[in-house]
A and B are shown apart, each in its own frame.
Chain A
Amino acid sequence: MKDTDIKRLLYTHLLCIFSIILSICIPSFFLENFSILETHLTWLCICSVFVTAVNLVLYLIVKPNASSKRSSISYKVTRFLKCCIYFLMSCFFFHVIFVLYGAPLIELVLETFLFAVILSTFTTVPCLCLLGPNIKAWLRVFSRNGVTSIWENSLQITTISSFIGTWLGAFPIPLDWERPWQMAIERKKMCRSFCVPGMVLGTVTQ
């Protein structure tokens, strides 16, 4: 049971990373002038969409907590809508946090918001997939001794390392003030590069 879980966990993480790599490669076939550094906004959108899609698909296939007792259509629809609302709220929440942390209020609003979206896709979407729109469960997972399964453990580690990666991504900003919001990408890369060892660590330690 545990071994299979670990295997599945590993595969899902590999797929996630693969999806990010794909999001770098694939658009260059369809879009002209696509490059991460210059059209970073487009890439941020695409990456976000890719990761969300992969997460959803994985959730549907793997179903780590297949315990929903009610399976009526209306229940599923409300659940889905709730998830969407949660996602949007988390985007706005992150946006507000970024602004409080010093991002400009009016200029670069699009960049900031897209960055909030991508951070949400890395943190909120897995939470939604795994735990559903249930704030209490989220709060439980992100506290000491609150983890009950290996899935939740990996969720905890990846989410926290995403936040830390984002936070670390802010450090090059003063060094590089000639290209102000290219930093979004730097942050993004940092974020991902910190997620990956986190995931591996998570799988190994279990």
Chain B
Amino acid sequence: MIPSNSASVASAALLGELLRRRRQMAMGRRQMAMGRGGPRAALSRACLSVVSVCRRRRRASGRRSSRMQKISVLLFLAWVSFLFYAGIALFTSGFLLTRLELTNHSSCHEPPGPGSLPWGSQGKPGACWMASRFSRLVLVLVDALRFDFAQPQPSHGPGEPPVSLPFLGKLNSLQRILEIQPHHARLYQSKADPPTTTMQRLKALTTGSLPTFIDAGSNFASYAIVEDNLIKQLTNAGRHVVFMGDDTWKDLFPGAFSQAFFFPSFNVRDLHTVDNGILEHLYPTMDGGEWDVLIAHFLGVDHCGHKYGPHHPEMAKKLSQMDQVIQGLVERLENDTLLVVIGDHGMTITGDHGGDSDLEISAALFLYSPKALFPRVPPKEPEIVPQISLVPTLALLLGLPIPFGNIGEVMAELFAEAEDSQPHSSALAQASALHLNAQQVSRFLHTYSAAAQNLQVKELHQLQNLFSKASADYQRLLQSPQGAEAALQTVITELQQFLRGVRAMCIESWARFSLGRMAGGAALLAAACFLCLLVSQWATYPGFHPLLLTPMACGLASTIVCAGLLATTGLKLDPVVLGAMAAVGSLLPFLWKAWAGWGSKRPLAALFPIPGPVLLFLLIRFAAFFSDSFVVAEARATPFLLGSLILLLVAQLHWEGKLLPPKLLTIPRLCFSASAGQPRHSGTHALGLGVGLLLCIRLAGLFHRCPEETPACHSSPWLSPLASMVGGRAKNLWYGACVGALVALLAAVRLWLCRYSNLKSPEPSVLFVRWGLPLMVLGTAAYWALASGADEAPPRLRALVAGASVVLPRAVAGLAASGLMLLLWRPVTVLVKATTGTPRTRTVLTPFSGPPTSQADLDYVVPQIYRHMQEEFRGRLERTKSQGPLTVAAYQLGSVYSAAMVTALTLLAFPLLLLHAERISLVFLLLFLQSFLLLHLLAAGIPITTPGPFTVPWQAVSAWALMATQTFYSLGHQPVFPAIHWHAAFVGFPEGHGSSTWLPALLVGANTFASHLLFAVGCPLLLLWPFLCESQGARKRWQPLGNEAEARVRPEEEEEPRMEMRLRDAPHHFNAALLQLGLKYLFVLGIQILACALAASILRRHLMVWKVFAPKFIFEAMGFIVSSVGLFLGIALVMRVDGAVSSWFRQLILAQQR
């Protein structure tokens, strides 16, 4: 049945006007008998056939201009977004510089510098720059082998309990070898350079260089290395390189291996495929002997870390397996073979990596040779070496040239000859290796500084001096071989000093910034923010809209001019610069024109309309981006700010007397009736909303992930997927809770739609809400059940489970997409009821005779006349046409916009929810709940200006943006790369994606920026909600107006609440309000990105810039892009609904006319 209370009525709005038009006529018919009694009740179903005729002509003319307005509003929003994008791109291109990759190569015939090649290398077979010490190499790369995984455990006494951590002491064979053969093996703690992502590490481990930050994001798609590298040198020297393992190598070194067994690396949930594949081929290949260099890249440990974390029993199993592998290899090694076991990076306590925390950059490095290699026994505490030291060391040990771009330093210890008891010759060998290395690095520096000019000249000069001195010393020593031991040591120290100096300088200067671009980008961002502020003020003034399209033309013109200029001058066409030029070219004329239009007509103070407290909040938020502590603590600071803003809203309501009925406040001496308006909500209502919001925010705060900078903080255990839980009972309970949250979300949305809209309507989108949403819930729940218990499934059902976990998420996403399509196709969810002209339960007509004497009489009489005429008209129509609907009652027209919005948001939320871990569904429930509460609270404070202009206050927009940020954190995100939920890429694609990169990127992006997207799309609700709440307010007002005296006095009150139809009645104001809302939201987001950019540029030499500010900027920029797109879509959706309502009206009228 139709809920009668929400029967908001089609074109009740039109009736008011009709009443006024007919007033004249009614005056003449004063003798007409008229009925009394609630005209409202009778009018509650409007007679469109009468009304629409009057307005039809007017609307037809307004329709076209309205559509033009809509298009110009959307274009303008797109243009403003483009300004921001151009600013972001310009800033990014200046801030995140890439290192120049040189394509030069070292070659055997070309020694790195003048002077004879060292000692003993000439004439020997296989000798290049130096005689090779090993002819074969087995490189075992265990991904994420942290140093402490391999660290020997002190043997504990009989009384002590054994170590309990699952990853400690599992690599027993290393320990045994180190104890038994101290001269053959050595364990190092190698320090990887951030970013600690596998591809960057592989690049570093083969080129000996420092891949920069900008590469961090391209871990999905790794591309061939163009720089000189070890693999290339090996191939050039004709060695057979056999590879097995991670298929990242395939992209990095296409066609470089004589034999290769690649296994997919992307699926982090799969612990065994890669490792088992390697083991299948490893020993046969080794025994076959068709190899010179054998590389095996195991991924199991890394994947185990990602899936379970290091503290899981699975990690112990994995490490034991690695231990067996090493054992097996050691047994098979021949005398001329070197075994290297290395971890490319470490992992955090949650098993992630990518950043630069100690746990992430410390990796194990283990060397073993069947013949004695080291002159001394290993030190108690393993030595710390930079990871890239391995590159020159291996190159020289294998008799290869050191890769051209290497800046690593050879591990001198390995070049001391162990059997040789003479300390002098051993030191000389070390010095010669170091000298070769230094020559190579110096050559590289020379070439690089000539090509790129981003090394610091002064330091470069100092280093060159140091090198020439050391080199001269070395040459002198060579001339007099019986030189002193001390002199040799000095040379070694000098060379090492030089190499370390170069490395330090490179680390520092490969983060060089282009200040001009950074300043330009920041200025563009600031200008765009200013523009948003300005235009959001002007948008409500009439005559503004024609101005909106000018920037497009200007921008296009300036782009063409700029492109032409650049083309004629022959400069390289940089799309970033071109975009920025276009932005500036369109911005300046617009501002100038707008300024001229603004002129001196209005005071400048009106330009800055943000009320004080909100300005303060925005300033605090702006300032907080400049402190790394606050950026790190943003997850806690944002809820605090949001809570403060909410309490401020409640307090403001109270302060202005809107919270409490005035009778509580009036005291005899003062009269309040002038200042305090009618309260639309009772005090407890608003207070309850506020406290409920605070509670929701606090609860959502329980789902937080700690930044690594705060060691005292513990991440919420609820963020991990259910599959990682060990207890069966707790898992089931949690699963129940998650499904409960899903069902609650569904029920809440349906309840809301039931209340404000109609689930009975036969429209396809409504049908979809009724039947499609439960299906989606069912699919999600089933998928979670499979995902959380997939490992426990009986083997018979494995295939079924695997198939279902592919199909279910895709089905849910497909359902959601089809639902959105349906919604776009038929967004009007109005139930139209045709009532044939059956006589309604008529109210008693009390006769009214004589002329109306007062205005009150008139106001009372006119509706009655109208009613009478309507009845008569209908009667006549009925007589002429006996069939066909004559009057039409349209239910839920008053909430048609927000119903579409809420449906769209729900449809968006479900696929996003599927991308998160199961327990995050509770946060999604909270998200909907708290935005609902916030909207209600805001609606309580926003007055409805009936004829327009409509505005959304700043505090509403700021609270909305703050809530988006707060939800970002409570969905378990942090603005750092290791915290990205990579597993989202496997939802629906458990086997990985093959070579496509955009799909996983899209999935991970949707997971990361889910809250940005949802809140941006839902932004128009801020405008719509106060009108939606009008129905409640109106109903409350109705109750005291029972007595007829009052009803006579205030006939205006007797109109049906028209709710969102008020917006439709003033299309110009509606469009302006949408534009204003969009610009305000963009402004609030824009100052965040501006603050990030400024912070990153001002603090670019800060210790934390790569750890905190740069990732924050990147996340904020991505979030801004997602938000602006979402905002655009949301506003476009509202406009689509508006268009559909218009055409619906048209169809209705046509149907009536027939």
Contact indicator A143/B665 (Cβ below 8 Å): yes
Contact indicator B664/A136 (Cβ below 8 Å): yes
Query: Which chain A residues lie closer than 8 Å to B669 at the CB level?
Result: 148
A174-B637 CB under 8 A given contacts A100-B694, A100-B698, A140-B665: yes
Write the chain A residue with the least CB distance to B644.
A167
Contact indicator A102/B627 (Cβ below 8 Å): no
B710 at the interface (CB under 8 A from A): yes
A174 to B639, CA, bound (A): 13
Contact indicator B636/A174 (Cβ below 8 Å): yes
Q: Which residues 6-62 of A have a CB within 8 angstroms of B?
A: none
Query: Which chain B residues lie closer than 8 Å to A77 at the CB level?
Result: none
Query: Which chain B residues lie closer than 8 Å to A146 at the CB level?
Result: 665
Contact indicator B665/A174 (Cβ below 8 Å): no
Contact indicator A139/B698 (Cβ below 8 Å): no
Contact indicator A144/B639 (Cβ below 8 Å): no
Query: Which chain A residues lie closer than 8 Å to B660 at the CB level?
Result: 139
B995 at the interface (CB under 8 A from A): no
Query: Which chain A residues lie closer than 8 Å to B639 at the CB level?
Result: 101-102
Contact indicator A102/B665 (Cβ below 8 Å): no
A170 at the interface (CB under 8 A from B): yes
Other-chain contact of B664, A100, A139, A145, A148 (Cβ < 8 Å): A139
Query: Which chain B residues lie closer than 8 Å to A100 at the CB level?
Result: 643, 691, 694-695, 697-698
Q: How many Å from the CB of A53 to the closest CB on chain B?
A: 30
B544 at the interface (CB under 8 A from A): no
Query: Which chain B residues lie closer than 8 Å to A148 at the CB level?
Result: 667, 669-670
- Kindly specify which of B82-90, B207-215, B651-659, B1027-1035 makes contact with the partner chain: B651-659
Other-chain contact of B667, A140, A142, A144 (Cβ < 8 Å): A140
Other-chain contact of B654, A101, A136, A139, A177 (Cβ < 8 Å): A139
Query: Which chain A residues lie closer than 8 Å to B627 at the CB level?
Result: 174-175
Query: Which chain B residues lie closer than 8 Å to A196 at the CB level?
Result: none
Q: Which residues 167-199 of A have a CB within 8 angstroms of B?
A: 167, 170, 173-175, 177
Write the chain B residue with the least CB distance to A103.
B698
B640 at the interface (CB under 8 A from A): yes
Other-chain contact of B632, A136, A143, A145, A174 (Cβ < 8 Å): A174
A130 to B691, CA, bound (A): 28
A150 at the interface (CB under 8 A from B): no
B480 at the interface (CB under 8 A from A): no
Query: Which chain B residues lie closer than 8 Å to A136 at the CB level?
Result: 664
Write the chain B residue with the least CB distance to A144.
B655
Contact indicator B712/A177 (Cβ below 8 Å): yes
Write the chain A residue with the least CB distance to B712.
A177
Write the chain A residue with the least CB distance to B674.
A145
A131 at the interface (CB under 8 A from B): no
A145-B629 CB under 8 A given contacts A101-B643, A139-B665, A174-B636: no
Contact indicator B643/A174 (Cβ below 8 Å): no
Contact indicator B655/A101 (Cβ below 8 Å): no
Q: How many Å from the CB of B813 to the closest CB on chain A?
A: 36
B1119 at the interface (CB under 8 A from A): no
A4 to B640, CA, bound (A): 43
Q: Which residues 153-168 of A have a CB within 8 angstroms of B?
A: 167
A145-B643 CB under 8 A given contacts A100-B698, A139-B665: no
A99 at the interface (CB under 8 A from B): yes
Contact indicator B701/A102 (Cβ below 8 Å): yes
Query: Which chain B residues lie closer than 8 Å to A175 at the CB level?
Result: 627, 629-630
A143 to B632, CA, bound (A): 38
Contact indicator B657/A143 (Cβ below 8 Å): yes
Write the chain B residue with the least CB distance to A105.
B698
Query: Which chain B residues lie closer than 8 Å to A174 at the CB level?
Result: 627, 629-630, 632-633, 636-637
A161 to B1035, CA, bound (A): 39
Contact indicator B656/A144 (Cβ below 8 Å): yes
Contact indicator B698/A99 (Cβ below 8 Å): yes
Query: Which chain B residues lie closer than 8 Å to A144 at the CB level?
Result: 655-657, 675
Query: Which chain A residues lie closer than 8 Å to B664 at the CB level?
Result: 136, 139-140
Q: How many Å from the CB of A145 to the closest CB on chain B?
A: 6
Query: Which chain B residues lie closer than 8 Å to A173 at the CB level?
Result: 633
Q: How many Å from the CB of B672 to the closest CB on chain A?
A: 7
Query: Which chain A residues lie closer than 8 Å to B632 at the CB level?
Result: 174
A101 to B642, CA, bound (A): 9
Query: Which chain A residues lie closer than 8 Å to B655 at the CB level?
Result: 142-144
Query: Which chain B residues lie closer than 8 Å to A102 at the CB level?
Result: 636, 639-640, 643, 698, 701
A37 to B587, CA, bound (A): 55
A129 to B1117, CA, bound (A): 53
Write the chain B residue with the least CB distance to A96.
B691
Other-chain contact of A101, B672, B694, B712 (Cβ < 8 Å): B694
Q: How many Å from the CB of B676 to the closest CB on chain A?
A: 8
A167 to B644, CA, bound (A): 8
- Interface mask (B1004-1019 → A, CB under 8 Å = 1, otherwise 0): 0000000000000000
Write the chain B residue with the least CB distance to A140.
B665
Q: How many Å from the CB of A162 to the closest CB on chain B?
A: 14
Q: How many Å from the CB of A155 to the closest CB on chain B?
A: 15
A173 to B641, CA, bound (A): 13
Q: How many Å from the CB of B984 to the closest CB on chain A?
A: 28
Query: Which chain A residues lie closer than 8 Å to B640 at the CB level?
Result: 101-102, 170
Query: Which chain B residues lie closer than 8 Å to A97 at the CB level?
Result: 694
Q: How many Å from the CB of B1121 to the closest CB on chain A?
A: 28
A100 to B672, CA, bound (A): 34
Write the chain A residue with the least CB distance to B701.
A102
A97 to B639, CA, bound (A): 13
Query: Which chain A residues lie closer than 8 Å to B633 at the CB level?
Result: 173-174, 177
Q: How many Å from the CB of A169 to the closest CB on chain B?
A: 12
A139 to B710, CA, bound (A): 42
Q: How many Å from the CB of B1107 to the closest CB on chain A?
A: 16
Query: Which chain B residues lie closer than 8 Å to A142 at the CB level?
Result: 654-655
Q: How many Å from the CB of B354 to the closest CB on chain A?
A: 24
- Interface mask (B673-693 → A, CB under 8 Å = 1, otherwise 0): 001000000000000000100
A175 to B644, CA, bound (A): 19
Q: How many Å from the CB of B198 to the closest CB on chain A?
A: 33
Q: How many Å from the CB of A117 to the closest CB on chain B?
A: 20
Write the chain A residue with the least CB distance to B660.
A139
Write the chain A residue with the least CB distance to B651.
A142
A202 to B654, CA, bound (A): 21
Query: Which chain B residues lie closer than 8 Å to A167 at the CB level?
Result: 644
Write the chain A residue with the least CB distance to B647.
A97
A100 to B643, CA, bound (A): 8
Write the chain B residue with the least CB distance to A146.
B665
Contact indicator B710/A145 (Cβ below 8 Å): no
Other-chain contact of A145, B654, B675, B691, B698 (Cβ < 8 Å): B675
Query: Which chain A residues lie closer than 8 Å to B637 at the CB level?
Result: 174
Query: Which chain A residues lie closer than 8 Å to B654 at the CB level?
Result: 139, 142-143
A148 to B670, CA, bound (A): 9
Write the chain A residue with the least CB distance to B675.
A145
Query: Which chain B residues lie closer than 8 Å to A143 at the CB level?
Result: 654-657, 665
Most buried by B among A100, A139, A140, A142: A100
Write the chain B residue with the least CB distance to A178.
B712
Query: Which chain A residues lie closer than 8 Å to B670 at the CB level?
Result: 145, 148
A82 to B1107, CA, bound (A): 55
A146 to B665, CA, bound (A): 8
A167 to B630, CA, bound (A): 16
Q: How many Å from the CB of B279 to the closest CB on chain A?
A: 47
Q: How many Å from the CB of B342 to the closest CB on chain A?
A: 36
Q: List 28 A–B pairs whose Cβ atoms lie within 8 Å, in order of A's numbering.
A: A97-B694, A99-B698, A100-B691, A100-B694, A100-B697, A101-B640, A102-B636, A102-B698, A102-B701, A136-B664, A139-B660, A142-B654, A143-B655, A143-B657, A144-B675, A145-B670, A145-B672, A145-B675, A167-B644, A173-B633, A174-B627, A174-B632, A174-B633, A174-B636, A175-B629, A175-B630, A177-B710, A177-B712
With A140-B664, A174-B637 already in contact, 8 other A-B pairs whose C-beta atoms are closer than 8 Å: A101-B639, A101-B643, A102-B639, A102-B640, A102-B698, A142-B654, A144-B655, A174-B630
List residues of A whose CB falls within 8 A of some B CB: 97, 99-102, 136, 139-140, 142-146, 148, 167, 170, 173-175, 177
Q: Which 7 A-B pairs have the closest CB atoms?
A: A174-B633, A100-B694, A174-B629, A175-B629, A100-B698, A144-B655, A101-B643
